[in-house]
Amino acid sequence: MSEKKEVQQLEIPSVDLLEGELKRTRYNARYRRTLRTTIFSLLLVAAAAVIIAVLLLPVLQISSGSMENTLVDGDMVISLNNGKYKTGDIIGFYYNNVVLIKRVIATSGDWVDIAEDGTVTVNGVVLDEPYVEEKALGDCNIKLPYQVPQGKCFVLGDNRTESIDSRNTAVGCISNDVVLGKLLARIWPLKSFTLLN
């Protein structure tokens, strides 16, 4: 008998209370669904950005003075990895697990000669190099004139007195498979934003 009294004393919730609870439950479900969708979208965008940054448009930081005054230590640049570059392009490439930045001077089959005063000729034509402030033979231990091997390119830093590059057998000519890409623009510092030729 006492159990029946206890059951009868339980209060039935009002319609307003049930509607409020239903709204709260629906809101929580919508909130969780929106949160999941947002997190998934952010992860998808981040993954796409990483893939683009690593495979197509790597961002590189300059860590030496070998390209001064074109690029200085600390500059950040964006490059395009399309496998196509030509004489005059600035490229980034791997050398002993370090990324180096140099300028392409000659490609497969070209003959390179560098005079004592630092004047560079490719296939008998003197290069016009307005980006070089001070010409120098630099650290050169190759026999000149030098023919660029097939599938490789001859690179020099714009700061010819400081740069270690294809003039030295330590670096030598660069194989196409180690090239990260052609530099497109300096993006940092912002006040120095420049498109690179």
| Other beta carbons less than 10 A from residue 154's beta carbon | 28
Determine how many CB atoms are found less than 10 A away from the CB of residue 64. Answer: 17
- Per-residue pLDDT reduced to its tens digit, 23-69: 888 888 899 999 999 998 898 888 877 776 666 677 788 888 889 88
What is residue 79's predicted lDDT score, i.e. its pLDDT? 85
Of the candidates 14, 41, 64, 66, the residue annotated as catalytic is 66
Identify the band that residue 176 occupies on the pLDDT scale cut at 50, 70 and 90.
Answer: confident
Average pLDDT, stretch 149-177? 92
pTM for the full model? Answer: 0.70
Residue 64 falls in the annotated catalytic set: no
pLDDT at 54: 64
| Structural domain spans, the chain | 2-56, 59-190
Q: What Cα–Cα distance (Å) separates residue 151 from each residue in 5, 10, 106, 107, 108?
A: 95, 87, 11, 8, 6
For 135-141, what is the mean pLDDT?
89
pLDDT > 90: percent of the chain: 35
Determine the pLDDT at residue 3. Answer: 54
DSSP string, 92-137: EEEETTEEEEEEEEEETT-EEEE-TT--EEETTEE---TT-SS---
What average pLDDT score do residues 106-127 get?
A: 93
Any idea which fold 59-190 has? Umud Fragment, subunit A (2.10.109)
- pLDDT of the residue at 119: 93
What does the pLDDT read at residue 96? Answer: 86
